Amino acid sequence: MHRSAGAAGGEVWIYGKFAPGYARTAYACFDQPDLKAEFTFQVTVPAQWTVLSNQPPAAAPEQAAGGNAVWRFTPTPRLPTFTTTVVAGDYHVVTSSHATPSGQRIPLELACQADLAGYLDAQAPALFEATARGLDLYTDLLGAYPYAKYGQVFVPAFSAGASEDVGCVLISDQFLFRSRVTAAADEFRMMVILHEMAHMWFGDLVTVRWWDDLWLSESFAEFCGHLATARVGGFPGAWSTFSVGRKAWGFAQDRLPSTHPVAADTATLSEAIANFDGISYAKGASVLRQLAAYVGEESFFSGIRAYIAGHAFANASRADLIAAVAANSGKSLGDWSQAWLRTAGFNTLHCEFQTDASGAFTEFAVVQDASASHPVLRPHRVAIGLYQRSGDVLTRTRLVEVDVTGPRTVVPELAGTTQPDLILPNDGDTGFVMVRFDPRSLRTVIESIGGLDDPLARAVGWNALIDMVQQAELPVPEFVAALAGGIRREPSVSVLQALLPQAEQIMRQLATPENAAAGKRLLADAAGQLLHSAEPASDLQLAWAQLLGWTATSADQLDLSAGLLSGDVAVPGLPVDTGLRWPLLQRLAAAGRVGDAVIGAELARDPTPAGQRHAAACRAAIPDAGHKEAAWQQLVDGRLGMEDLSVVARGFALPEQAGLLTPYPARYLGALREIWPTRSGHLRVLLGDLLFPYPAASQELLAQIDEFLAADPAEAGPDPSMVRVLTERRDTLRRALLSRALPGRRPDPPG
């Protein structure tokens, strides 16, 4: 049970967040997914409180002794323990109802902490509309809504984005917008809403037998969330956003030594918690998307409906799902299931060709590689796009579909075709497969990726460049140069806002301090120009201001940030509200331009929990040893929630401040040992990443981690989830050291 209190201490907000195995910390139970039960909640609280739960109340609350009231809820149907919840405190509730096309009437509720009521009232019509559209689509695709009501509660200090409690979804209050946001944030919120709603069927109604089938919950919710966002959520480009953002997360996870099959072998709850990752969400969703295309969407969903009907209020496993889809499609899925669900790692495609004197292909083949640790080749149906460059426009001159099987697939129809400026394997991004370019194509992508019209083609290019920089095949400065050029021509703010956080992470983890500073200066230059040329009040204008927020480096750029904050610089159509003020201020703090007094004054303007979090991040960014030490203490002392930790850690570990972070590599392992026994599973995994002092980490930390991992496990007994975190950090650090040693710019390849 989580408890938050208002700044004055009078208001209290409590909620139960039990996924995936914490119900037993709140009440006595057998806390595993295949032991479902019916629950009847009876809650005694102070009389002025509001209580919500999975079911509606059976009657009005009854007054009880001592100024209390008793809330009795109707009994639930059979639920897994981790989807039960009780929410109690000073909450504000808005209700409505929706009738689906099949005539089912579903009561709806929205709630938030009472002091945010104004924001909820303003956003409730849009939120109810989104909910209604999602319910219409899902009841059509998946079957009747199985529960008594559908509630969504915005809760403070939540340890995840949202969680799928039956009929009472908990959503982080960061999704209750308090300042103007871009369409990208709106799109992401829509996806989260529709993801959680899909869990009512996948996870809640039909529950995994054990966590090795976590993908049956998360991959499906991720797949349905994006499908619904694109189809009914008002964001038809949701799959391109997915390709640049979530899918890149899947690739990043899949290249780590800890990678696992989508359907993983999971012995313990701690291993299950570690598997709430890019594989179970993004790779799994990509694979399901492919399965739907392979058997046809109609027979895919008729198989899914049979699976849901056959296991409603009970449990199921991978075999049940595959059998249901196979029976409804008439296709045997044994080989498919083995190749995509039961093996780890991804394949890389590149093109191999010879040309004659005129520059025409004499032979053209697609070559498939697999990593040495997961040497599995898979069948891929992909398109190869050929593009000609003219100025900065890339025009597709040819698109050939290829069934890639085995290590080398010859494409006879391309013989005789003139070698173009860009050959793009996996054009259209239909497969979960990485690509590499021939030298001429690579140069075209780096110089002109923004010239690709199709957002899915650009996504393939971006994911390849990100993978290359992650693998130390492309120097960070070269990646940043491609980015600074490409973003100027990116029309989708959602794609931008999926791409830019990855650039920030690449700089934090991989770049030298000099390259990080130079890279930020280059991006801030683009941001400053684009901010002034963007259409007033457009989403892109806000996105450029936000980019300036974390990149301003040179004196001119910092002057612009300071001017926006003070109001001395006004950009028509750009309100400098709370959401923008904090990042601008944090950058000034990082540059040493403002200190505690100015940060304190800003906190007085925004004395909310979010304001406190951002003020702490600003103080963490101040470039002196004392502020770094104070921030480190805050990160390890156990009082900050998940969102606070992420925000403060971003202020603490700035790559251009590597010199100030030199004491922390030596303290990392000790801090982790202290944290592990006392924090919840998700929190300690997060801390294992957030505390890792990438900017200052060197070969020495690598050696310390190796020594730690080599210790006799029977003696030291490190938790397997800690071993996993360390193995992942070690791998990223190893690649960072390789990347930092690369020459600044690779020589131009021969034309």
Please state the closest distance from residue 161 (CB atom) to Zn ion, in A.
8
- As a residue count, the chain comes to 751
Structure tokens at 585: 């201020």
Structure tokens at 219: 């991959």
Q: CB neighbours of 133 closer than 8 A, spacing ≥ 6?
A: 228, 232, 233
Please state the closest distance from residue 164 (CB atom) to Zn ion, in A.
6
Q: Which of 133, 126, 139 is nearest to 231 (CA)?
A: 133
> Is 282 or 576 the residue whose CB approaches Zn ion more closely?
282
Please state the closest distance from residue 293 (CB atom) to Zn ion, in A.
23
Q: What is the sign of the dihedral through the CA atoms of 490, 492, 498 and 504?
A: positive
Exposure string over 76-104, b if 16+ CB within 10 A, otherwise e = bbebbbbbbbbbbbbbbbbebebebeeee
> Is 212 or 218 the residue whose CB approaches Zn ion more closely?
218
Side by side, the strands of the sheet bearing 408-410 are: 408-410, 361-370, 347-355, 434-435
> Is 189 or 508 the residue whose CB approaches Zn ion more closely?
189
Structure tokens at 12: 């209290």
Q: Which amino acid is at 751?
A: G
DSSP for 595-637 reads -HHHHHHHHHH--SHHHHHHHHHHHHHSSSHHHHHHHHHHHHS
Cα distance between residue 375 and residue 305, in whole Å: 35
Please state the closest distance from residue 27 (CB atom) to Zn ion, in A.
23
Please state the closest distance from residue 222 (CB atom) to Zn ion, in A.
7
**Catalytic site residue 11?**
no
> Is 186 or 218 the residue whose CB approaches Zn ion more closely?
218
> Is 165 or 467 the residue whose CB approaches Zn ion more closely?
165
Exposure string over 360-373, b if 16+ CB within 10 A, otherwise e = ebeebbbbbebeee
Cα distance between residue 128 and residue 184, in whole Å: 19
> Is 224 or 482 the residue whose CB approaches Zn ion more closely?
224
Q: What is the sign of the dihedral through the CA atoms of 55, 58, 60 and 65?
A: negative
Which segments of 27-175 does DSSP mark as H helices, in order?
Answer: 117-142
Cα distance between residue 727 and residue 672, in whole Å: 13
Cα distance between residue 323 and residue 320, in whole Å: 5
User: Can you give the binding site for Zn ion, defined by CB under 5 A?
Assistant: 218, 221
Which member of 109, 164, 187, 196 is catalytic? 196
Please state the closest distance from residue 31 (CB atom) to Zn ion, in A.
19
Please state the closest distance from residue 529 (CB atom) to Zn ion, in A.
39
From residue 107, how far is each of 99, 118, 135, 446, 622 by CA, in Å? 9, 22, 11, 52, 49
Please state the closest distance from residue 83 (CB atom) to Zn ion, in A.
11
From residue 183, how far is each of 128, 177, 221, 488 by CA, in Å? 18, 12, 22, 18
Cα distance between residue 252 and residue 254, in whole Å: 6
**Which residue, chain included where needed, has tokens 């901010």?**
531
State yes or no: cis peptide before 33, omega within 30 of 0: no
Q: Which residue is nearest to Zn ion (CB)?
A: 221
From residue 245, how far is each of 263, 278, 732 by CA, in Å? 22, 11, 19
Please state the closest distance from residue 308 (CB atom) to Zn ion, in A.
17
Cα distance between residue 209 and residue 248, in whole Å: 29
Strand partners, 386: 398, 423
Please state the closest distance from residue 281 (CB atom) to Zn ion, in A.
7
> Is 288 or 499 the residue whose CB approaches Zn ion more closely?
288
> Is 285 or 675 the residue whose CB approaches Zn ion more closely?
285
- Check if the beta carbon of residue 469 is closer than 8 Å to that of residue 739: yes
Q: Which amino acid is at 421?
A: D
Structure tokens at 582: 């904090």
Please state the closest distance from residue 173 (CB atom) to Zn ion, in A.
18
Q: Which amino acid is at 673?
A: R
Catalytic residue IDs = 196
